[in-house]
Chains A and B, each alone.
Chain A
Amino acid sequence: TLRAGSQCPACERPAIDLESHRQLLLDMAKRSILDKLHLSRPPTLSRPVSRAALRTALQRLHGPPQGTLQEDYRRQEYEIISFAETGFSNVNQTRLDFYFSSDETAGGVEIQHASFLFFVQLPPNSTQSMNVKVFALSPHDTNLTIASQHLLEVDASGWHQLTLGPEAQAACSQGHLTLELVPEGQVAHSLVIMGDTAHRPFVAAQVRVGGKHQVHRR
C-alpha cells in the first residue's frame, strides 16, 4: 500500500547489478515455493522410490483424471483405421467390407468406440435418406445377417460420421465388419458414395488392449 505522496517502489529498474538481482529473485522463488508447501527446507529422500510408483504418479499427472483405476493406466489404448473394400454394389446399394488385423483382434482387444466415416456427394440444396445396415456373422454358421440398421438424413455434400453400436463393435472385434448403404426414396441415384483414394470410406475404432485378456486370467 502506498502512502499519500509516496513514490511507487518498483517502477524503476533495479539499481543493483544483474547477478545480485538474479540471486535475489532465485532466493525469493525458493523461499516462496517452500513456504507454500509448508516446508522449512527441501526434503531429502529417506528411502528410494520405486520406478513403478513414479510412473504411476506421472501417468496420473498427464493421463486420465484422478480416481480412475490404476489398472486402466496399464492398458494400452489406440485407434485402428480400417479403409473400406468395396463388395457387391449396384445403383441401389453399396456394400463395404472392413477388415481388422487378426493379431490385434486375437485375444484381449476391446473395441470401446467405433465410427463409420464416409464422403457423400449430393446435388445442391437436396437431402437424401440413407439406410446403413450392419452385418455380422451369425453365431451358428458363417452367413452374414443383419445385426442393426441406422437411418441417416444426409443434407449436404461432404464427410459424414455414424457412431456404430455394440453389434458393429463386436464385428470389429471378430475381425470383419460389413456395412451396406442403401439410399432411400426416388432420388436415390443422385446420391454418390465417393470411394476414390481421397474419399475412401473408413471405420475408426478406439481399441483397448488387455481388458478382456486380464479378466479371463483372473
Chain B
Amino acid sequence: GIDCQGVSRMCCRQEFFVDFREIGWQDWIIQPEGYAMNFCTGQCPLHVAGMPGIAASFHTAVLNLLKANTAGGTAGGGSCCVPTVQRPLSLLYYDRDSNIVKTDIPDMVVEACGCS
C-alpha cells in the first residue's frame, strides 16, 4: 500500500489521527493519547484491482458514509480502495464503575490500503 501524498488520485492510505484530548475523552481513556484511525481513499482502475476477500469492518462503514457525501465518482469497473492491513487498537480506560480496563479492539487501525 501507499500513503496519500500530493495530488495523486490513486488508491492510498490517508492518515487520520483522533486526539482524545481534542474530543474530550482524555478523562476516561488513560492510554493511548489518540487513535490513529486512518482510512483509504483514491481510485482503483481495473488494472490494479484484484484483492478480493477483504474483511468488512468499521472502515466499510466509513466508505459507505463517504459514498453518501461523494459526488458521483468514477470507479473504473467495480474495484474499491479498501483496507488491506489492519491492526488492533489497545485501550486502557475507566469503565462505568471506575474500574481500569485494558482491551484490544481488533481491526481498528488501517495500516495499508489496496484495491479490492
Give the residues in chain B near A7, CB-CB below 8 Å: 72-75, 78
Give the residues in chain B near A44, CB-CB below 8 Å: 28
Which residue of B has the minimal Cβ distance to A48? B98
Name the 8 nearest CB pairs between A and B, nearest first: A12-B73, A9-B67, A8-B75, A7-B75, A15-B71, A10-B63, A57-B100, A8-B80
The answer to whether A45 touches B73, judged by C-beta atoms less than 8 angstroms apart, is no
CA of A42 to CA of B100, assembled, Å: 14
CA of A48 to CA of B27, assembled, Å: 11
Give the residues in chain B near A12, CB-CB below 8 Å: 9, 43, 70-71, 73-74
Interface set, chain A 12-28, CB cutoff 8 A to B: 12-16, 20-21, 24-26, 28
A30 on interface, CB distance cutoff 8 Å:
yes
CA of A37 to CA of B9, assembled, Å: 35
SS class, residues of chain A in contact with chain B: loop
- Offer 10 A-B interface pairs, CB within 8 angstroms, sorted by A: A10-B41, A10-B80, A11-B81, A12-B43, A13-B42, A15-B69, A20-B69, A24-B65, A30-B25, A43-B96
Measured as residues with beta carbon below 8 angstroms from the partner, the interface class of chain B is 35 or more
Number of interface residues of A (CB under 8 A): 41
The answer to whether B105 touches A57, judged by C-beta atoms less than 8 angstroms apart, is no
The answer to whether A43 touches B100, judged by C-beta atoms less than 8 angstroms apart, is no
CA of A53 to CA of B31, assembled, Å: 14
A60 on interface, CB distance cutoff 8 Å:
yes
